[in-house]
Structure 1
């Protein structure tokens, strides 16, 4: 890694670059602050920037990597991502192919690799404990099966290959390329059970379709039906316990000093000129800085990557990485884009970073985003009824006059009135531990009630994070990871 023109430029930027104060910070949510600033770049041209400061260790705070429409290659505006995930704030994420929408680099979500790459670009990740990782990451994927040993995997969610094994998860989002295939369904202990593919099988929720081509077909066929296999992602020791990962680059700050890594990471030409920028940094206190700078417009010329590295250092980052920039640079706070995108409108993005503050809920291995967060009342976890019941196949009705929710699934009818501890299930009274509550127009019910009435299994866990896992009668087993 190459240090920038450190002594001279540091003095220069401290005396010239940052001449305007920041506006007062606004509390967006517990542990989340936002403010704006106006300064000049090294050419003396005005710039305007925006900062989100996040405490990643704040209770139930998650800086979540989100794919456009939850599918690799799909594009979605930042506002749409933020609104559907219940985020309190958001910024654009890592690089993506503007034609295909596919990511450039690694994507991990909920501890699961959805796309891996050995591209020489800086990745950044978040652990379940709220720590931030920044550096080069080239994961290796393999499978392990009793009696068979280890099998190398060519990739995850990539097009067909001439020779090799490829895993496809639901993030693939389209027809799996034709090949010799097996189903890998979630099983206990993080394993997957091998099952044959019949017809045009769907990718199992939380699992994979394993496809093989060329000489690897023999390896695939060596896995017997019913066998339990493990999918192993090899990571450096200091990247363990990962929750989410994206790739971007270049590295901007390391050890509290600016670094000049752009060319080493394959960035050159017009990319190095002043432009709108987005960056992520970590302070010595462990706070996360998400920074957006407007560019290519009157009132904000933008920054070079080198200038961005000094800005991140000036804001207090001891480590920092550039995210996607240009027309992708956007920040969303409290229902609106707060910066001025250079495209004059929102650009559909391949991925983004959402700041979400709620206990995660998973149904059949898929994250369920809620517009009202679960709450704890008298030691009981209450969850929003409508979204969960609808995901479990029930139809929901609401009587405003009596504040009564009616849920119907098959021959099952449930009537529940806010503030009451008695529920009617097919006309019979059922007692709730605590009464249902209406919060921000949503009815919340005790989590266990969901399982008891709709035949779902409900599991509340505290490790590696607080979360609710719901398994429908039709779903598989195991947790989302």
Structure 2
């Protein structure tokens, strides 16, 4: 039994020693000269979503060492020559490695592996046949391009990998105690001749649209902002889609009680779901208002139109409109109706026409009430601005993606895309983030093209904001709308190749 045990132990040791010997090529040195030389036969590449592998196939016994400088991993094959088929430069074209340069060095070879980013790696050798293997971890996060924009405002970029591709994010970190945060609109650029014509033609002035699309950089310039990102979703005409309030003026209504950024008069920011309870009273009767500055979708709707909407309301001939100035009825109409500059129009679907036309008279008092109702009770102070977005990404430090309850379409809720988001850190500092997406025409995720940031899914965006320190976060309009502007310079790479015209923006200004 002892003989069998010893024999068994010997076999185990033999195999262990054999494995160790096979793990590393054997090299022999005598009097400063290697007894055998080796030949670098091929350089091969292997890759998956987790790592990138370079394999050096070696004929014979090799002796190697390596070191690292700022951008290169240097591998020395001390007793090797290169096969004539080995190129001087082995192109890799990956975001982890650009190329491998092969040169003669003393009595051997030097392989310089160019690493554009700081990544971890593991070098080991294998036998039968002899190979030297270098595994590079694809996971890395690199912060770069840091700059101070103003007191309380800094900008930087984060480059990180997602699998075998990479993402570039642009971050504005803002101290609300040293800045003023507000939403803003763009205004049409009026030339000198147009301004003269408009001065003498008030009717032409009336025809100007209430909403206007322009670029984030133009909105920032017109509003003297030092930085800005794009804001709400918007219609083809520039109308905000979702709740939007500027300087206590309610411009549009919530959609599905989606999440919004809430800004108080004290410049405190919150992220919360918003609903509204709005109505108007005429005598003892209360009528529900179902929307503000938006097209009517039902004969049961009563929509409030303010001068922000434009010069007039477009309505059916069967709809009934109440024209209100200074709290009193100044007119009644059906069909298209001019919106007074010092009032509003209540436009009711034809379900109300017969009753309202018989009861509402000129000179009657009309009172409109709009109650803003946040879901949370933690908001303190008077609400000054509301900027609707969605879905929510973080709630009290937890991943909380509300894409289903807020009924977002698949083009927003699914897949990777360029993104815009706002995060609030525990210390109340703000993060305004845009994530670069693949340019139009190169947005096939199966493409081997690794030159472009691939964007993020909502889940990836939520985790990313959490790593930046956000405890609450909200997604905004993304894709071609995603834009970061700092002092007139576009800091992200728009997927359309240039800025898209948008309905509004979130502005960052210094405290005066």
> Could you state the TM-score of these two structures normalised by the residue count of structure 1?
0.62
Helix, strand or coil at the partner of 1:296: coil
- In the alignment, the residues of structure 2 paired with residue 225 and residue 57 of structure 1 have an alpha-carbon distance, to the nearest angstrom, of 49
Is 1:92 matched up with 2:238? no
Return the match for 2:426 from 278, 284, 299. Answer: 284
- In the alignment, the residues of structure 2 paired with residue 333 and residue 248 of structure 1 have an alpha-carbon distance, to the nearest angstrom, of 22
Relative to structure 1, the CA distance from residue 29 to residue 206 in structure 2 (aligned partners, 3 Å threshold; closer, same or farther) is: farther
1:105 shift after superposition: 1.6
- In the alignment, the residues of structure 1 paired with residue 239 and residue 484 of structure 2 have an alpha-carbon distance, to the nearest angstrom, of 21
Partner of 2:323: 183
Return the match for 1:260 from 401, 423, 427. Answer: 401
Partner of 2:220: 82
1:226 shift after superposition: 4.4
Return 5+ residue gaps in structure 1 as ranges: 1-14, 187-191, 360-481
Helix, strand or coil at the partner of 2:169: strand
Partner of 1:49: 169
Relative to structure 1, the CA distance from residue 247 to residue 18 in structure 2 (aligned partners, 3 Å threshold; closer, same or farther) is: farther
> Could you state the TM-score of these two structures normalised by the residue count of structure 2?
0.59
1:120 shift after superposition: 5.3
- In the alignment, the residues of structure 2 paired with residue 117 and residue 358 of structure 1 have an alpha-carbon distance, to the nearest angstrom, of 30
- In the alignment, the residues of structure 2 paired with residue 276 and residue 86 of structure 1 have an alpha-carbon distance, to the nearest angstrom, of 26
Relative to structure 1, the CA distance from residue 164 to residue 321 in structure 2 (aligned partners, 3 Å threshold; closer, same or farther) is: closer
Helix, strand or coil at the partner of 1:235: strand
Helix, strand or coil at the partner of 1:313: helix
The range that moved more, 76-85 or 267-276, is 267-276
Partner of 1:29: 150
Highest relative contact order (Cα 8 Å, sep 6+), 1 or 2? Answer: 1
**Does the aligned pair in 1 maintain the 2:395–2:471 contact within 8 Å?**
yes
Partner of 2:487: 334
Is 1:64 matched up with 2:170? no
Relative to structure 1, the CA distance from residue 267 to residue 158 in structure 2 (aligned partners, 3 Å threshold; closer, same or farther) is: closer
1:206 shift after superposition: 5.2
- In the alignment, the residues of structure 1 paired with residue 308 and residue 391 of structure 2 have an alpha-carbon distance, to the nearest angstrom, of 26
**Does the aligned pair in 2 maintain the 1:182–1:197 contact within 8 Å?**
yes
Helix, strand or coil at the partner of 1:79: helix
- In the alignment, the residues of structure 2 paired with residue 166 and residue 141 of structure 1 have an alpha-carbon distance, to the nearest angstrom, of 10
1:221 shift after superposition: 6.1
- In the alignment, the residues of structure 1 paired with residue 258 and residue 302 of structure 2 have an alpha-carbon distance, to the nearest angstrom, of 25
Partner of 1:195: 330
Note the 1:58-457 alignment, pairs <5 A.
58=178, 61-66=180-185, 74-97=212-235, 99-119=236-256, 121-145=258-282, 147-160=283-296, 161-178=298-315, 179-186=319-326, 192-196=327-331, 202-205=338-341, 207-217=343-353, 218-219=355-356, 222-223=359-360, 225-236=362-373, 238=377, 241-267=382-408, 269=410, 271=412, 272-297=414-439, 298-357=451-510
1:26 shift after superposition: 2.5
Relative to structure 1, the CA distance from residue 257 to residue 143 in structure 2 (aligned partners, 3 Å threshold; closer, same or farther) is: same
State the Cα RMSD in Å: 3.1
**Does the aligned pair in 1 maintain the 2:311–2:339 contact within 8 Å?**
no
Helix, strand or coil at the partner of 1:117: coil
Return 5+ residue gaps in structure 2 as ranges: 1-119, 121-136, 189-207, 440-450
Relative to structure 1, the CA distance from residue 157 to residue 57 in structure 2 (aligned partners, 3 Å threshold; closer, same or farther) is: same
- In the alignment, the residues of structure 1 paired with residue 138 and residue 269 of structure 2 have an alpha-carbon distance, to the nearest angstrom, of 28
- In the alignment, the residues of structure 2 paired with residue 270 and residue 164 of structure 1 have an alpha-carbon distance, to the nearest angstrom, of 28
- In the alignment, the residues of structure 2 paired with residue 181 and residue 162 of structure 1 have an alpha-carbon distance, to the nearest angstrom, of 13
Relative to structure 1, the CA distance from residue 204 to residue 64 in structure 2 (aligned partners, 3 Å threshold; closer, same or farther) is: same
Relative to structure 1, the CA distance from residue 24 to residue 84 in structure 2 (aligned partners, 3 Å threshold; closer, same or farther) is: same
- In the alignment, the residues of structure 2 paired with residue 18 and residue 220 of structure 1 have an alpha-carbon distance, to the nearest angstrom, of 68
1:64 shift after superposition: 1.7
Paired residues, number = 336
1:123 shift after superposition: 2.2
Question: Which entry has the higher C-alpha Rg, 1 or 2?
Answer: 2
1:144 shift after superposition: 3.4
The range that moved more, 344-353 or 117-126, is 117-126
**Does the aligned pair in 2 maintain the 1:142–1:232 contact within 8 Å?**
yes
- In the alignment, the residues of structure 1 paired with residue 341 and residue 266 of structure 2 have an alpha-carbon distance, to the nearest angstrom, of 26
**Does the aligned pair in 2 maintain the 1:90–1:333 contact within 8 Å?**
yes
**Does the aligned pair in 2 maintain the 1:72–1:101 contact within 8 Å?**
no
Relative to structure 1, the CA distance from residue 118 to residue 344 in structure 2 (aligned partners, 3 Å threshold; closer, same or farther) is: closer
- In the alignment, the residues of structure 1 paired with residue 226 and residue 333 of structure 2 have an alpha-carbon distance, to the nearest angstrom, of 43
1:112 shift after superposition: 2.3
**Does the aligned pair in 1 maintain the 2:320–2:332 contact within 8 Å?**
no
Relative to structure 1, the CA distance from residue 269 to residue 235 in structure 2 (aligned partners, 3 Å threshold; closer, same or farther) is: closer
- In the alignment, the residues of structure 1 paired with residue 422 and residue 159 of structure 2 have an alpha-carbon distance, to the nearest angstrom, of 19
